[in-house]
Amino acid sequence: MIRLFQWVVWMFCCCAALAQNTGRPNILLIITDQQTADAMSAAGNEDLRTPAMDQLAANGVRFTRAYCAQPLCTPSRTAIFSGKMPFETGFVGNAPEKDGLWPDSLLMMGKIMADGGYKTGYVGKWHLPVPASKISQHGFRYIQNTSFQDFNDGATPSFCARFIKENAQQPFLLVASFLNPHDICEWARGEALKMDVLDNAPPPEQCPALPANWKIPANEPEMIRKQQLSNARTYPSINWTASQWRQYRWAYNRLVEKVDAHIAQLLYALKKYGVEKNTIIIFTADHGDGYAGHSWNQKQVLYEEAAKVPFIISGPGRWKARTDDMLLCNGTDIIPTICGFGGVKAPAYLKGVDLSKRIAGPGKLLRDTLVIETDFADNEELLGISGRAVITKQFKYIVYSKGRIKEQLFDLTKDPGEIINLAVQSRYKKELQRMRRYLKAWCQVNGDPFANAAL
């Protein structure tokens, strides 16, 4: 009898160990809100300290040219959790958490991974056009701290720790979704912050220096500034002085540091419950922030600061630290990537790339050109102005659907701040035409109606 008991205990321990050593890693997806790609000390930013994000970069691959599908909350998040571009799903503006909006035919990340054998959890900001309570549709069996009025960044690590503890013996997908540094929106208009309290900004001369591209550039599409006039609460920064912008950057950096501290708590939970070595962490943001570039706060525009996001794939003991400049879109590429890591079959209709292949073979070229989009909106109200960007290794082409000047062309290798619009220079006519042709062809192949309306 004693031997039988010992055998049962031994089998239980073996099965528990096997669950975390079957080659199917846990996946932790960390999403911040409105964090531009350069707002990390790991990215060389000396005006803030982000030790948790730096730790992620030190244990994996930091992709330096990652973009969101659309720089606005709901469109970007619907892309991340469906794997399809906003123009494909129809969610091109912010949308309410309401039943009946999300089509049953559009599979969500949680359901895909749950059907593939993963335990699934979601904690934190939701902002998706499907009720968080409708588990049968989104597939996240454990779902906490999502209420728009009540969720709190400080509570997210605790809820995540509970999930990790309860699922430490089986492969899991956990999403940790934080609000900050989105509180910069409230700070800019002088309102109380939703998540945190900040000290008063120091004198401007003690705040971060302004970027070289902080002024409005020449030959900018006129619809950008017309759209900026749509809501004074959203864009209180019109006519701000250099001093105000310097204080804005100070406040933004402090909010990034606050969310970094919450991420540190999350990483500690992985270690505490013994799953650190068998967890692949993907860190990104739903979109960026103007960060004073081009005298812009908020998002929506297709400039680098608003559209470019942090993106790190991390796994302690798995990979050496390196950077990768391959073009990627977090909206289309995350689901194929976590399916690739987890051995789960991704829906055949997805067009994103599986970055696990790039991790395994750094020289494997999965994409050389990327297209992203925007639709200007005042929250849920669309303003009738859309845009597309075509991005290559060297150039970036932006075109909006309306306006006297509609196009921008930048050589990002020489002009990373997007100051000089080459679209108005005759010697770049061939490159401009090449970009137009590419976008037209891409729209035709992918069923994007933008080209018919704007090109």
CA dist., res. 42 & res. 393, Å (int): 22
Shared domain for 339 and 382, answered yes or no, is no
Residue 74's pLDDT is what? 97
Residue 345's pLDDT is what? 96
Q: What DSSP line would sit under 380-438, residue for residue? A: TEEEEEEEEEEE-SSEEEEEESSSSS-EEEEETTT-TT--S-GGG-GGGHHHHHHHHHH
- Mean pLDDT, residues 389-393 taken together: 98
Q: For 190-228, what is each residue's pLDDT tens digit?
A: 999 998 889 999 999 999 999 999 999 999 999 999 999
Query: Of 334, 398, 391, 299, which is closest to residue 37 (Cα–Cα)?
Result: 299
Q: What's CA 126's distance to the chain center, in Å?
A: 13
Q: What's the half-sphere exposure (Cβ side, CA atoms, 13 Å) at 329?
A: 30
Shared domain for 166 and 49, answered yes or no, is yes
Shared domain for 254 and 381, answered yes or no, is no
Q: Are strands 279-285 and 26-32 parallel, antiparallel or unpaired?
A: parallel
Among 367, 387, 418, which residue terminates a domain?
367
pLDDT cut 90: percent of the chain above it: 89
Q: What's CA 27's distance to the chain center, in Å?
A: 16
200: left (phi over 0), alpha (psi -120 to 50) or beta: beta
Does position 346 have pLDDT exceeding 90, yes or no? yes
**Mean pLDDT across the chain:** 94
Domain containing 115 — which CATH number? 3.40.720.10
Residue 63: inside a domain, yes or no?
yes
Residue 347: inside a domain, yes or no?
yes
Q: Which domain, by its residues, includes 377?
A: 371-454
- Mean pLDDT, residues 106-134 taken together: 97
Residue 36's pLDDT is what? 98
- This prediction's pTM: 0.94
Among 347, 367, 387, which residue terminates a domain?
367
Residue recorded with tokens 């090109």? 455
- Mean pLDDT, residues 99-108 taken together: 94
Residue 3: inside a domain, yes or no?
no
Among 340, 367, 394, which residue terminates a domain?
367
Residue 22's pLDDT is what? 52
- Mean pLDDT, residues 379-403 taken together: 95
Shared domain for 363 and 376, answered yes or no, is no
- Mean pLDDT, residues 149-173 taken together: 94
Residue 5: inside a domain, yes or no?
no
150 pLDDT band, cuts 50/70/90, is confident
Shared domain for 141 and 286, answered yes or no, is yes
13 pLDDT band, cuts 50/70/90, is very low
Residue 52's pLDDT is what? 98
Q: For 23-53, what is each residue's pLDDT tens digit?
A: 799 999 999 999 999 999 999 999 999 999 9
Q: For 51-64, what is each residue's pLDDT tens digit?
A: 999 999 999 999 99
Does position 271 have pLDDT exceeding 60, yes or no? yes
Residue 6: inside a domain, yes or no?
no
Residue 452's pLDDT is what? 87
Shared domain for 118 and 240, answered yes or no, is yes
- Mean pLDDT, residues 425-430 taken together: 97
Residue recorded with tokens 């759209």? 227
More confident residue, 3 or 318: 318
Residue 58's pLDDT is what? 98
Residue 266: inside a domain, yes or no?
yes
B/e letters for 48-71, b = 16+ CB within 10 Å, e = fewer, are bebebbbbbbebbbbbebbbbbbb
Residue 9: inside a domain, yes or no?
no
Shared domain for 357 and 425, answered yes or no, is no
- Mean pLDDT, residues 436-449 taken together: 97
Does position 10 have pLDDT exceeding 60, yes or no? no
Residue 342: inside a domain, yes or no?
yes
Domain containing 448 — which CATH number? 3.30.1120.10
- Mean pLDDT, residues 75-100 taken together: 96
The token duo for 442 is 């891409």
Shared domain for 268 and 202, answered yes or no, is yes
Count: domains in the chain: 2
Shared domain for 95 and 233, answered yes or no, is yes
Does position 19 have pLDDT exceeding 80, yes or no? no
- Long-range contact list for 43-47, CB < 8 A, 24+ apart? 43/310, 45/253, 47/208, 47/249, 47/250, 47/253
Shared domain for 401 and 353, answered yes or no, is no
7 pLDDT band, cuts 50/70/90, is very low
Residue 151's pLDDT is what? 83
pLDDT cut 70: percent of the chain above it: 95
CA dist., res. 229 & res. 378, Å (int): 10
Shared domain for 263 and 308, answered yes or no, is yes
Shared domain for 356 and 381, answered yes or no, is no
